[in-house]
Amino acid sequence: MKRKAAFLKIFLFIVLMLCTGCLSFKAHPVGVEPNARNMTCPEYEVLGEAEGLSSSFTLFWFVPVTPAANFKEAVDDAVKSKGGDNLIEAVFTRESLVYIVGTVNNVYVKGKVIRYLQK
């Protein structure tokens, strides 16, 4: 009987270890914007394509561990990566990954980073 109980415990432990990966993954486009922030100058140069990310984690699906993912933080991340001033042709995507211990929410943005020309 003790052997069966030990075997059952080991079996359950292995099953739980295999299930700790992502249980569910959902990603969907949120929108496309001509510019992520208000344009302050009509003259600019394109620095290149960039991507930004904002992420948050919720423990056991209701205890927030990190601040909520937001679009502004993702845009700031993309703009800073190229040292620019704004992001044009911005494409926003939101994804959610569900694990046994909680949920990870991500906001992605991809677009062209620009720098305003000073006169």
Average pLDDT over the chain reads 86
- pLDDT tens-digit map of 42-99: 899 999 999 999 999 998 878 889 999 999 999 999 999 999 999 999 999 999 988 8
What pLDDT shows up at residue 4? 73
DSSP string, 107-119: EEEEEEEEEEPP-
Residues in the chain: 119
> What is the CB neighbour count within 10 angstroms for residue 112?
19
Mean pLDDT score, 30-43? 89
Q: Give the DSSP H or E segment for 89.
A: strand 86-98
What pLDDT shows up at residue 41? 86
pTM summary value: 0.76
Residue 19: is its pLDDT beyond 90?
no
Give the Cα separation of 20 and 31 in Å (integer). 32
- The residue ranges of every structural domain in the chain are 22-116
Structural tokens at position 109: 């943005």
CATH architecture of 22-116: 2-Layer Sandwich (3.30)
What pLDDT shows up at residue 62? 84
Residue 25: is its pLDDT beyond 90?
no
Residue 119: is its pLDDT beyond 60?
no
Give the Cα separation of 3 and 16 in Å (integer). 20
